[in-house]
Chain A
Amino acid sequence: MADSSGVHQYGNILLGGRGGTNPGQLKIHPGGFLWKKSGGGKVVEVAKGDISSLNWTRVPKGYQLAIRLKAGSNVKFNGFREQDISNLNNFLSSNLGLTPEDRPLAISGRNWGDAELEGNILSFMVGGKQAFEISVADVSQTQLQGKNEVVVEFHVDDTTSANEKDTLMEISFHIPSTNATFVGDDERP
């Protein structure tokens, strides 16, 4: 809801990350975003000038707003409702000069697709839709196993885990020799 100063405030918005999600309060104001964890603690601030793009993704039971930063990382907020979208789109485009684009979720359940690395974000795309995204910043190491497998290990961080019972520790990708894009690509940290 917007008050007279043009601030949109949402009471139950989940900040997503490697450790799961944390509930909090989100303020969207003409200068950017301010999220505060319920009960205090973590604060996430995003200034308008740091944002490179915005995306809406329809997720189970609502919508996710993904904020991609010029620095290469992203911030994801879950818990928006359908009626928030048109309202916010107007606000975001007139105040931030950015119109969120739709980024549909891949839900076919396939384990094959394309990996796209942009900034710190590795997106696994299935049929041109987003299956999941991981942040390179959370990666403790990657290693090449054999000729065709890249193993990505995540930092163990017990301080951030929220409502998550099962925590992602490792993911590996098989890159067939028929794929020329990633063969010999050791650019990734």
Chain B
Amino acid sequence: GHGDGRSSVRTSGEMIAYRSVDDIPSSKDLMIQVDQKNEAILLPIYGLLVPFHISTVRTVTSQQDGGHSYIRLIFNVPGAGFSVNDLPSQKFPRSIYVKEISFRSNDVRHSNQVVQLIKTLRRQVAQRESEKAERAT
């Protein structure tokens, strides 16, 4: 069961994408990136790459419109996506959540690729966590 203190990366108190700023991959290009190793995505917000742990991501989609590509990320918030054990709202009832972020990309190939990478990483991590949870019961 839980209570062993290492049940899941999704356990709210433990979710850590990076421990040091130096661990964040740096890039000259400000664009959405996927860090497989640290299971995080990096989103360009006001000139900095802001990390979000992959397990905060609920869905990601892209859509083409007039030469641009629109990438839409929906995050887990209370009432949707978080399982009962993981619900950070139990620990942090006053928190505000980032629910959705949309980007307009000027590179359709990059946006398709990054959306696929996010989906794959999300699936891998979710599968691993559910297997872990199964073994624990």
Is B127 in the interface zone, CB < 8 Å from A?
no
Contact B56–A109 (Cβ < 8 Å):
yes
Residues of A within 8 A of B136 (CB): none
Question: Which residues of B are at the interface with A, using a C-beta cutoff of 8 A?
Answer: 12, 15-26, 28-32, 40, 43-53, 56, 70-71, 75-78, 88-89, 92-107, 110-111
Binds B, one of A3-11, A33-41, A127-135: A127-135
Residues of A within 8 A of B19 (CB): 107
Partner of B89, one of A114, A131, A178, A180: A178
Smallest CB separation, B48 vs chain A (Å): 6
A145 to B111, CA, bound (A): 27
List B contacts of A180 (CB < 8 A): 94
Q: Decide if B30 touches A176 in the complex (CB within 8 Å).
A: no
Q: How far does the alpha carbon of A167 sit from the alpha carbon of B46 in the complex, in Å? A: 9
Of B47, B96, B111, the contact of A20 (CB 8 Å cutoff): B47
| Chain B residues within an 8 Å CB radius of A174 | 77-78, 96-99
A to B CB contacts below 8 Å, 16 in the list:
A60-B22, A60-B26, A105-B21, A107-B18, A108-B17, A110-B52, A112-B89, A112-B96, A131-B50, A132-B46, A165-B106, A166-B104, A166-B106, A171-B102, A176-B95, A182-B96
- The residues of B that contact A182 with a CB separation of less than 8 Å are 96
Q: Closest B-chain residue to A107, C-beta based?
A: B18
A156 to B70 alpha-carbon distance, docked (Å) = 13
Tally of A interface residues using CB under 8 Å = 51
Are the CB atoms of B99 and A170 closer together than 8 Å? no
Binding site for B on A (CB under 8 A): 14, 16-18, 20-21, 58-61, 64, 76, 78, 105, 107-115, 124, 131-135, 149, 151, 156, 163-176, 178-182
Identify which of A14, A111, A163, A166 contacts B75 (C-beta below 8 A): A111
The verdict on A163 contacting B28 (CB below 8 Å), with A59-B21, A111-B75, A173-B97 known, is yes
> Separation in Å of the B97 CB from the closest CB of chain A?
4
B99 touching A149 by the CB < 8 A rule?
A: yes
Whose C-beta in chain A lies nearest to the C-beta of B25?
A60
Bound together, the chains give a CA A170 to CA B100 distance in angstroms of: 8
Candidates B40, B89, B92, B99; contact of A109 at CB < 8 Å: B40
CB distance from A69 to the nearest CB of B (A): 16
Determine the distance from Cα of A19 to Cα of B40 in the docked complex, in whole angstroms. Answer: 23
- The answer to whether A59 touches B56, judged by C-beta atoms less than 8 angstroms apart, is no
Contact A20:B44 (CB < 8 A) given known A170-B102, A174-B78: yes
